[in-house]
């Protein structure tokens, strides 16, 4: 028969280290650390850290159906056992010497009609009271409340009864109960309500949950439901009760007892146990039959006064305390957080702590915070100076760059890379490219007005398209400058090629193709190798040597450059010379890429410059310029195409030189954004594009919007506004239309638009001198009907801003803009009003009022204007 019983588990209410397993007998265990388990014989491992030791076994009470532990300290280890025949027996474990206990142990409480005892509950305060829930009998009550201190029934027990029950020691039998409740019904579960310990009892009757008030047993509150098993009160929220029926758990609020507040998702198998976590708010654990999973329901975020409409949010998850074996029962530890012991049908026990769900939140900056149990962790990016820029998160970089006004330098475009920190070669290349593009386009705009449109778009369309359109290439064979030796290196010229060289930055704009200024600037920046290479490619070997010498002698110069210069000076165009042989083999050992390609150039056959063109450490700009000079019309587009595709694939910003600000460029930028997430650079770069196609690309719009959102999230509202202004200058289509108008109370016309908006009107407002009026009163009256404008709620003056009558004209002229900026009224004088109560006044006055108040300044208006504005209390995190 014992096989039919599954072990249940019960924690001692007062000893945090003891629990009882009950199946056919009661076994008391003590839980301890596993450290010294070797010394203790018979210690059962519960987990990696804990073991259990069997302290006592009690097999006095057969046919055990339910057990309840006496809730008070004294007498400890007193248990009430409910039996299959409805008797309740008091028993104890390992307490042989306790006299107080002795008096009670063995006492039996017998119902009039035998039937199964389903549940037992001690009254937590009046601990003499023990409620027993029994199966139904046609003529008897199902809830009996016994007083364990009541004296034994002294009258003789009927002999028949002794015979039937087989009870010899009838002296300890109590048959008179304190209260009888629930006639002709079954009680499947019950619990005392903590709200009114002594008086209220909740019982799962046959088809309803009933609350009995012991002060008046004839009255009860009840609700019809099937969920009558396992009623249990949330220890943290005394009005919340869980009960279950088959696979479904119902959660009740005792204040609104008519129907369950909600039911949890139904499980396919019937539930066997439902228990609130005693150490954690709103955590309910449920166990279904033959399952190895305990399901947890976190009702932490349930709004406390349950609204009718509000569906409470419950987070459901499951834990698997012991990997494979089926769980027979579990019990929360009474004090250790989220800890439970589970027991399997074959009495294998497992100590288990439910890991707290981790909730995690990113801040809009890079900080990360998470909460686990009762701990809160914060993880912030190491902002120390030691952190290399490359290791910083892109968001941090973008924040820093935004603060440095990155992207806003429209005059010296190349300077933006300095604003970006100046340490990213790709950004540097990008901004120089943009710089050259804008430069050239400005130049062509000035010089060649006629062909403007054609040429203009060509400049923006990148070298790839420029070389494709190349025609009329001429080939020259120049001498090495400073020597009369003829080179066998053909060099190609065309208009487009020189445009490409301009875009590469090698030659200045204009007709001359002198690289000297470029060399000078490179020398200034200390890029000796690069300067030397550029000089060499312009066939000026002497200049190259001179540069190298200069570099060697410069401060912190590399003396090896002298050696290179020496090697260079030995150049001979003899095909089979020792110099050639050595250079072509030894150049590979050179660490500096520019030095390497110099010798590659000198040692390679004309037209076969792969060693130069595919040296990836060399800037794309220089390789492209080189190609434009030395590749013929067939080779050049092929090379450029190949390089373009490489760049696009890698998302290398240097490739913008090739693609220009075209759809190709957007493709390239897309892979760059995919790789880095740098929407900032993408936005600014694309805005620089010639007004037109690229800005309409949805990807570009997406980057721009995302960047704006990012700025908003960082509370960089001023930066965002600056960006919008910047954007509207470069892309007039993005200029937002006016969304708010102030209309006159009297004539209903907008007060901001005057003369130019309504030219047909007979009376031009200019004649009344609205904008340039010497009399201030004009400003504060409607330009339409000349009635006064509303008064400020605080200063009671009529409102009105001096230039509200000056509308922007269609053509955005930079200079006009500037002057208008100056003319704009002080923000303090602007109209402001609450959208809710429509009261308002001068912005400055309102600002200072709401610094100290949340209510509308107009007396008798109770509008909490300030609280309606969710962002009103946030402070921008960027300075103006």
- Are residues 865 and 703 in contact, defined by beta-carbon separation less than 8 angstroms? no
Contact call for residue 75 and other proteins (CB under 8 A): no
Going across the sheet that includes 339-343, the strands are: 329-332, 339-343, 349-353
Helix (H) or strand (E) holding 403: helix 394-403
Contacts of 508 (CB under 8 A, 6+ apart): 502, 514, 517, 518
Nearest Cα neighbor of 601 from 533, 684, 518, 523 is 533
Closest distance to other proteins from the beta carbon of 218 (Å): 5
Q: x/- site string to other proteins, residues 185 to 224, per CB under 8 A?
A: xx------------------xxx--x-x-----xxx-x--
Q: Which stretch binds other proteins (CB under 8 A): 43-51, 182-190, 405-413, 820-828?
A: 182-190
Closest distance to other proteins from the beta carbon of 184 (Å): 5
Is 5 buried (19+), middle (13-18) or exposed (0-12) by CB count in 10 A?
A: middle
d(CA 287, CA 269): 10
Beta strands at 208-213 and 200-204: parallel, antiparallel or unpaired: antiparallel
Q: Which of 68, 77, 101, 114 contacts other proteins by CB under 8 A?
A: 114
User: Closer to other proteins at the Cβ: 210 or 600?
Assistant: 210
Q: Which of 7, 75, 82, 111 contacts other proteins by CB under 8 A?
A: 111
Helix (H) or strand (E) holding 360: strand 359-362
Nearest 5°: phi and psi at 229?
-90, 150
User: Closer to other proteins at the Cβ: 221 or 353?
Assistant: 221
Closest distance to other proteins from the beta carbon of 300 (Å): 37
Q: Which stretch binds other proteins (CB under 8 A): 48-56, 110-118, 290-298, 796-804?
A: 110-118
User: Closer to other proteins at the Cβ: 4 or 307?
Assistant: 4
Task: Tell me which residue has tokens 């993005």.
Answer: 734
Contact call for residue 718 and other proteins (CB under 8 A): no
Q: Which of 116, 452, 645, 877 contacts other proteins by CB under 8 A?
A: 116
Contact call for residue 166 and other proteins (CB under 8 A): yes
User: Closer to other proteins at the Cβ: 222 or 262?
Assistant: 222
Nearest Cα neighbor of 397 from 426, 371, 366, 351 is 366
Nearest Cα neighbor of 707 from 688, 734, 681, 732 is 681
Closest distance to other proteins from the beta carbon of 194 (Å): 23
Closest distance to other proteins from the beta carbon of 186 (Å): 8
Q: What residues numbered 132-161 form the site for other proteins, per CB under 8 A?
A: 135-140, 158, 160-161
User: Closer to other proteins at the Cβ: 179 or 579?
Assistant: 179
Contact call for residue 733 and other proteins (CB under 8 A): no
User: Closer to other proteins at the Cβ: 212 or 601?
Assistant: 212
Closest distance to other proteins from the beta carbon of 46 (Å): 30
Closest distance to other proteins from the beta carbon of 181 (Å): 6
Q: Which stretch binds other proteins (CB under 8 A): 114-122, 419-427, 675-683, 754-762?
A: 114-122
739-757 in b/e form (b: 16+ CB < 10 A) is eeebebeeeebbbbbbbee
Contact call for residue 168 and other proteins (CB under 8 A): no
3-state secondary structure 185-230: CCCCEEEECHHHCCCEEEEECCCEEEEEECCCCCCEEEEECCCCEE
SS3 232: strand
User: Closer to other proteins at the Cβ: 67 or 834?
Assistant: 67
DSSP per-residue codes, 287-351: EETTBS-EEEEE-TT--SS--SSPPPP-EEEEE-SSSSSPB-EEEE-SSSTTEEEEE-TT--EEE
| Total site size for other proteins, rule CB under 8 A | 43
Nearest Cα neighbor of 416 from 665, 669, 685 is 685
d(CA 191, CA 71): 13
Q: Which of 36, 149, 183, 745 contacts other proteins by CB under 8 A?
A: 183
User: Closer to other proteins at the Cβ: 111 or 800?
Assistant: 111
User: Closer to other proteins at the Cβ: 207 or 520?
Assistant: 207
Closest distance to other proteins from the beta carbon of 64 (Å): 12
Contact call for residue 2 and other proteins (CB under 8 A): no
User: Closer to other proteins at the Cβ: 231 or 631?
Assistant: 231
Contact call for residue 480 and other proteins (CB under 8 A): no
Contact call for residue 107 and other proteins (CB under 8 A): no
Contact call for residue 171 and other proteins (CB under 8 A): no
User: Closer to other proteins at the Cβ: 65 or 417?
Assistant: 65
Closest distance to other proteins from the beta carbon of 354 (Å): 32
Q: What angle do CA 77, 83, 87 make, to 5 degrees?
A: 95
d(CA 393, CA 391): 6
Nearest Cα neighbor of 551 from 541, 567, 562 is 562
Contact call for residue 81 and other proteins (CB under 8 A): no
Q: What angle do CA 764, 768, 770 make, to 5 degrees?
A: 95
| Contacts to other proteins by CB under 8 A | 1, 4, 63, 84-86, 110-116, 135-140, 158, 160-161, 163-166, 175, 180-186, 205-207, 210, 212, 218-220, 222
């Amino acid at each position: 028969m014992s096989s039919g019983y599954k072990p249940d588990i019960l924690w001692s209410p007062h000893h945090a280290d003891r629990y009882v397993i009950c199946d056919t007998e009661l076994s008391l265990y003590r839980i301890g650390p596993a450290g010294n388990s070797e010394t203790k014989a018979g210690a059962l491992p519960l987990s990696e850290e804990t073991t259990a030791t069997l302290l006592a076994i009690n097999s006095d009470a057969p046919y055990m159906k339910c057990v309840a532990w006496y809730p008070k300290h004294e007498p400890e280890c007193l248990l009430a056992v409910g039996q299959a025949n409805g008797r309740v027996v008091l028993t104890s474990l390992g307490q042989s010497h306790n006299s107080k206990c002795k008096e009670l142990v063995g006492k039996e409480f017998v119902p009039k009609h035998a039937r199964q005892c389903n549940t037992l509950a001690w009254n937590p305060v009046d601990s003499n009271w023990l409620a027993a829930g029994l199966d139904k009998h046609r003529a008897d009550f199902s809830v009996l409340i016994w007083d364990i201190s009541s004296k034994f029934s002294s009258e003789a027990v009927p002999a028949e009864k002794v015979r039937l029950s087989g009870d010899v020691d009838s002296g300890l039998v109590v048959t008179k109960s304190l209260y009888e409740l629930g006639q002709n019904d079954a009680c499947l579960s019950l619990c005392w309500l903590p709200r009114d310990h002594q008086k209220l009892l909740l019982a799962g009757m046959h088809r309803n949950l009933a609350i009995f008030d012991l002060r008046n047993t004839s009255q009860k509150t009840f609700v019809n439901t099937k969920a009558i098993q396992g009623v249990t009160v949330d220890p943290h929220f005394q009005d919340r009760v869980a009960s279950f029926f088959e696979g479904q758990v119902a959660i009740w609020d005792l204040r609104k007892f008519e129907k369950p507040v909600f039911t949890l998702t139904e499980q396919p198998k019937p539930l066997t146990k439902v228990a609130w976590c005693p150490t954690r708010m709103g955590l309910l654990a449920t166990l279904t039959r033959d399952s190895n999973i305990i399901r947890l329901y976190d009702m932490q975020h349930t709004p406390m006064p349950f609204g009718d409409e509000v569906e409470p949010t419950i987070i459901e998850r499951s834990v698997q305390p012991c990997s494979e074996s089926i769980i027979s029962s579990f019990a929360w530890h009474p004090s250790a957080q989220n800890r439970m012991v589970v027991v399997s049908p074959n009495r294998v026990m497992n100590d288990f702590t439910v890991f707290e769900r981790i909730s995690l939140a990113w801040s809009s900056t890079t900080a990360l915070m998470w909460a686990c149990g009762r701990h809160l962790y914060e993880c912030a990016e190491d902002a120390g100076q030691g952190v290399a820029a490359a290791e910083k998160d892109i968001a941090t970089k973008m924040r820093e760059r935004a603060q440095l006004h990155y992207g806003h330098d429209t005059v010296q475009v190349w300077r933006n890379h300095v604003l970006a920190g100046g340490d990213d070669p790709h950004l540097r290349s990008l901004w120089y490219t943009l710089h050259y593009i804008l430069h050239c386009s400005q130049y062509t705009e000035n010089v060649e007005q006629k062909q403007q449109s054609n040429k203009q778009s060509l400049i923006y369309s990148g070298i790839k398209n420029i070389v494709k359109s190349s025609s009329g290439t001429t080939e020259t064979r120049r001498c090495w400058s400073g020597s009369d030796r003829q080179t066998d290196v053909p060099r190609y010229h065309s208009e487009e090629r020189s445009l490409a060289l301009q875009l590469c930055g090698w030659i200045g704009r204009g007709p001359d193709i002198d690289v000297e200024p470029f060399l000078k600037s490179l020398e200034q920046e200390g890029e000796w190798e690069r300067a030397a290479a550029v000089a060499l490619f312009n066939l000026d070997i002497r200049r190259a040597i001179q540069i190298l010498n200069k570099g060697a002698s410069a401060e912190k110069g590399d003396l090896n450059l002298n050696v290179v210069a020496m090697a260079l000076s030995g150049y001979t165009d003899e095909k089979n010379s020792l110099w050639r042989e050595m250079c072509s083999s030894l150049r590979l050992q050179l660490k500096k890429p520019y030095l390497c390609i110099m010798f590659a150039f000198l040692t390679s056959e004309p037209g076969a410059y792969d060693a130069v063109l595919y040296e990836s450490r060399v800037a794309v700009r220089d390789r492209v310029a080189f190609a434009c000079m030395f590749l013929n019309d067939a080779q050049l587009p092929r090379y450029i195409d190949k390089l373009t595709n490489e760049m696009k694939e890698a998302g290398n910003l240097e490739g913008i030189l090739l693609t220009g600000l075209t759809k190709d460029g957007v493709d390239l930028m897309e892979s760059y954004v995919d790789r880095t997430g740098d929407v900032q650079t993408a936005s600014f770069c694309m805005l620089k594009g010639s007004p037109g196609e690229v800005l309409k690309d949805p990807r570009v719009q997406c980057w721009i919007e995302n960047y704006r959102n990012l700025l908003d999230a960082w509370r960089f509202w001023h930066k965002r506004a600056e960006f919008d202004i910047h954007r509207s200058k470069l892309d007039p289509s993005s200029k937002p239309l006016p969304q708010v108008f102030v209309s006159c109370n009297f004539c209903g016309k907008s007060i901001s638009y005057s003369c130019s908006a309504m030219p047909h009107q007979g009376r031009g407002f200019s004649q009344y001198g609205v904008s340039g009026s010497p009399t201030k009163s004009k400003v504060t009256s409607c330009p339409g009907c000349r009635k006064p404008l509303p008064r400020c709620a605080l200063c009671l003056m009529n409102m009105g801003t001096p230039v509200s009558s000056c509308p922007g004209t269609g053509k955005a002229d930079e200079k006009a803009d500037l002057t208008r900026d100056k003319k704009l009224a002080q923000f303090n004088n602007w109209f402001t009003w609450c959208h809710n109560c429509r009261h308002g006044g001068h912005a400055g006055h309102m600002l200072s009022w709401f610094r100290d108040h949340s209510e509308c300044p107009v007396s008798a208006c109770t509008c909490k204007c300030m609280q309606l504005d969710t962002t009103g209390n946030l402070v921008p995190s960027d300075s103006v």
